[in-house]
Structure 1
Amino acid sequence: MRLNKLTSVSLAVAAALAIAGCSQKQDAPAGEASAASAAADGNVVKIGFAAPLTGPQAHYGEEYKNGVTLAIEDANAEKPTIDGKPVTFELVSEDDQADPKTATQLAQKFVDNKVNGIVGHFNSGTSIPASKIYSDAGIPMIAMATSPVFTSQGYKNTFRSMTSDTQQGSVMGQFVVQKLNAKKIVIVDDRTAYGQGLADEFEKAVKAAGGEVVKREFTNDKATDFAAILTSIKGVSPDVVFYGGADAQSAPMAKQMKRLGLKAPLISGEMTKTPTFLKLAGQEAEGTIASLAGLPLDKMPKGADYASRYKARFNMDVATYSPYGYDAARAMIAAMKEANSADPAKYLPVLAKVQYKDGVTSSNWTYDDKGDLKDGGITVYKVEKGEWKVLETVGGGAAAPAAASAAQ
């Protein structure tokens, strides 16, 4: 909050009130209590959250945070008890700026503040280094990270809220070769843990399906001018161009591909399958294909109800990530209740074996021995007339696939 000029007496009074736990932030969202009120209540269970809340990826982090916020509000409305005592779940939110160094600093801050669990981080590049700090402290984390590395480090505290790049890259690699009949494939990635990891898995699947990767290029997650890369790509006349990275890059890439006369469609992952991509790319978004973990929102077990309540609470539509943030927080809380303890050491083994049946995204939220979701499907979408349309869903209780369009 903005501080006005105070006299020394006023400062003394304000300090006394803060020490007494009487001051409280007026702008904290519901479910995100102040530190003072937490100190005054010994039955507060702190759930840390970290994601990019500023910068070009802020729209991902804010929507993700909204899902976690709604989950905590719903849990608190149920008047929860643990070990026979009423508890209040508190969201402790931080902005890691999608930066690995910032993420590790925040991870240590969360450990020092003795949070009971972490929902986050969002990016693979932040989740992986932060996970070491949480592992050393024995704090469970359920991250949005999709890199296979995240759950392959041998830590017992790492869990996902979405399917891994291994699953997603495999589906998309087979899709472009078998369904789009693509023979010559170009791959570009942004060199982040997420973008490069997804591109690597996609390349493996393409080759396994009999496709040929005729060119592989890379850029970075700050670039917006792809003229040199695309000119080089045009020279090999690819059937499709796959991009591993975020919509801040895939949108201008889609526009520049069309303006350069590249006929190949752009193929990408879930960080492109967003409303933001449609806005940034405009009419040049048409024909773009992207994958996203899980079922379409209207096919999720509780998708329709969640969409309605989300709209009422935040005055916006669900974009991509909030349902997964919601289920992650609820699964963590369910493990605490089942363990009858919010002590990380006591509920961590329960979380590893949790069978959360009441999820928005899945009615069978459970983990394998690495912390990967067992019941994870992938849905493939295509931009048609300015909207993301479902082409095919694989796994996760999916219905029969829709007819896929041919490569352009």
Structure 2
Amino acid sequence: MKRRRKLFLVLALVALVVSAGCSGGNQGQAPPPAGGEAAPPPHEEAKVINIGFTGPLSGGAAFYGKEVADGLDLAVEEINAQGITVNGEKYLINLVKLDDQYMPDKAATNARRLVEEYRVPAVFVPHSGGIYAIQQFNEEENLLILGYTSEPGILERGNRLTMRIPPRYTLYLETFAQMTMERFGNKLGVIPTNTQYGKDWTEAFVPVWESMGGVVVAESPIDYNKEADFYTYVSQVLAKEPDVLFVGGPSQPTAMVIKQARELGFQGGFVVMDQAKLDQMAQIIPMEDLEGAIGSVPLHLYPSPGTQPFIQRFQAKYDRMPTWEAAYNYQTLWLLAKGI
């Protein structure tokens, strides 16, 4: 029932914006290279619908941004193999990717450029800071935001052209707190990313931890996008002898925070925000470093009929296992195409 409602909402939103996206401007012709990659040439007999992406393709969160972009690229490839028909005319999807380095102000600038230069009817944005920034003007521009973030707040502003793709993170709080507290103890050290997403996750999780009898013994937010050496921050928190560390941000820097905590002798558990993926981190650091960590279930363990076929197609194209970022964004672009 929820899935049907979500599909209906997507189709309704597409109906509001796609008429503008299929006429005028740069629609009907391929744009120049964007985001470091050349756009594929359109089929001679088909027009082009540009769809935007603004996300981190460089910097500390580039690994995360690439996972999202790769899922979208796979969907574009499959959608264009079938083609889209609108009012008897054939269209192809062209994904215009711009790098915002995980910075909200750059995301907003990119979104304006995508509207003005490429007349995109929709833009994929994989971070809440960028979504909040674009929400300042997207309704005026008739721009649909397809937001990959579990931040509940993006839907609490009454913005009629915003869709949140993954589930909200508030679904995890009590389970994560209970399981780690029962196994390791009630003293929590907080080392989250200092982005808006990290601040909101922390503000939601800490009260739940404390309501269960836990205490916060140290807190040291980090710029996961800029820092490369986390020893100073981690050692300051470990000096307070926590039982559990609350960490999270993009998978690559989160993995390094966990690794450095282990190297400094920490033997407790980890509560991992849902942006960081355990299976992705296991490709970066030893599996034993992740013992005692709780986070979102890896995609390949999810019991859905479509999971394994998607994984096989993704592996055939990229020679690696996909995460939820790739899968959710892939699925959403397909929904968008069906709405068109």
| Aligned residue identity for 1:201 | A
Residue number among 201, 223, 226 corresponding to 1:198 in the alignment: 201
- Contact kept? 1:107, 1:133, Cα under 8 Å: no
Change (3 A) 1:22 1:106: closer
SS in structure 2 at match of 1:110: helix
Q: CA deviation at 1:303?
A: 0.7
Provide closer, same or farther for how the CA distance between residues 138 and 55 of structure 1 changes in structure 2, counting only shifts above 3 A.
Answer: same
How far has the Cα of 1:80 moved from its partner? 2.3
SS of equivalent to 1:292: coil
- CA 1:125 to 1:171, structure 2 compared with 1: closer, same or farther past 3 Å? farther
AA in 2 matched with 1:67: G
Partner Cα separation in structure 1 for residue 314 and residue 167 of structure 2: 23
Asked if 2 retains the 8 angstrom alpha-carbon contact of 1:80 and 1:87, the reply is: yes
Residue 240 of structure 1 is matched in structure 2 by 244
Q: Larger radius of gyration, structure 1 or 2?
A: 1
Deviation at 1:42, TM superposition (A): 7.7
How far does residue 284 in structure 1 lie from its aligned partner after superposition? 6.0
Question: SS in structure 1 opposite 2:216?
Answer: strand
CA distance in 1, matches of 2:299, 2:175: 14
Secondary structure in 1 matching 2:254: helix
SS at 2:282 equivalent: helix
Q: Does 1:169 align with 2:173?
A: yes
Matched, 1:209 2:203: no
For 1:77, the equivalent position in structure 2 comes to 81
For residues 152-167 of structure 1, the aligned pairs below 5 Å read 152-167=156-171
Determine the C-alpha separation between the residues in 1 that align with 2:279 and 2:273: 14
| 1:15 corresponds to | none
CA distance in 2, matches of 1:42, 1:104: 30
Task: Tell whether 2:51 aligns with 1:47.
Answer: yes
Contact 2:180 2:270 in 1 (8 A): no
Report the counterpart of residue 147 of structure 1 in structure 2: 151
Q: For residue 121 of structure 2, what is the aligned residue in structure 1?
A: 116
Return the alpha-carbon distance in structure 2 between the equivalents of residues 95 and 67 of structure 1.
16
Structure 2: 5+ residue stretches without partners? 1-28
Q: CA RMSD in A?
A: 2.9
Deviations 1:235-284 (A, max 9, x none): 43222111132334323322322232222223212333255533443366
Please list, as runs of the form range in 1=range in 2, the aligned pairs for 1:1-150 lying within 5 A after superposition. 32-34=39-41, 43-112=47-116, 113-118=118-123, 120-150=124-154
**Deviation at residue 94 of structure 1 after TM alignment:** 1.4
Q: What is the distance in 1 between the residues matched to 2:73 and 2:327?
A: 11
TM-score (norm 1): 0.67
What is the aligned partner in structure 2 of residue 326 from structure 1?
A: 330
1:265 aligns with 2:269: yes
Percent identity between the aligned chains? 22
Distance 1:171 1:294 in 2: 17
Tell me if the contact between 2:191 and 2:234 (Cα under 8 Å) persists in the aligned partners. Answer: no
User: For 1:242, what is the secondary structure of its paired residue?
Assistant: strand
Partner of 2:186: 183
Q: How many residues align?
A: 308
Sort the Cα spacing of 1:244 and 1:117 in 2 relative to 1 into closer, same or farther, 3 A. Answer: same
Tell me, what secondary structure is at the counterpart of 2:60?
A: coil
**Aligned ranges for residues 348-363 of structure 1 at < 5 Å?**
none
Partner SS for 1:281: coil
Query: Residue 142 and residue 23 in structure 1: after superposition, are their counterparts in 2 closer, same or farther (change >3 A)?
Result: closer
Q: Return closer, same or farther for 1:278/1:88 CA change in 2, 3 Å cut-off.
A: same
Q: CA deviation at 1:123?
A: 1.7
Q: How many Å separate the matches in 2 of 1:23 and 1:180?
A: 54
Greater mean alpha carbon deviation, residues 301-310 or residues 197-206: 197-206
Deviation beyond 6 Å, 4+ runs, structure 1: 21-25
TM-superposition CA deviations, 1:17-53 (whole Å, max 9, x none): xxxx79987x967xx445xx59x87842221112211
| Cα offset, 1:161, TM superposition | 1.5
- Cα offset for 1:306? 0.4
| CA–CA distance in structure 2, aligned partners of residues 41 and 216 of structure 1 | 58
Equivalent position amino acid for 1:68 in 2: L
**SS of aligned partner of 1:186:** strand
Q: Deviations over 1:125-152 (max 9, x none)?
A: 2222123232221211211122222222
1:335-385 residue CA offsets vs partner (Å, 9 max, x unmatched): 22xxxxxxxxxxxxxxxxxxxxxxxxxxxxxxxxxxxxxxxxxxxxxxxxx
Secondary structure at the residue paired with 1:299? coil
Cross-structure match for 2:12: none
The structural deviation recorded for 1:314 is 2.5
CA contact (8 A) 1:254 1:284 kept: no
Name the residue aligned to 1:303: 307
2:64–2:251: 8 Å Cα contact kept in structure 1?
no
The residue aligned with 2:21 is: none
Q: How far 1:109 moved relative to its partner?
A: 0.6
5 Å-filtered alignment, 1:219-258, equals 219-221=222-224, 222-258=226-262
- Against the structure 1 CA distance between its residues 202 and 329, is the aligned structure 2 distance closer, same or farther, given a 3 Å change threshold? same
Report if aligned partners of 1:274, 1:319 keep a CA contact under 8 Å in 2.
no
In structure 2, relative to structure 1, the CA distance for the partners of 1:63 and 1:101 (3 Å cut) is same
Q: Does the CA contact (< 8 Å) of 1:189 and 1:243 recur in 2?
A: yes
Query: TM-score w.r.t. structure 2 length?
Result: 0.79
Q: State whether residues 272 and 290 of structure 1, in contact with CA within 8 Å, keep that contact through their aligned partners in structure 2.
A: no
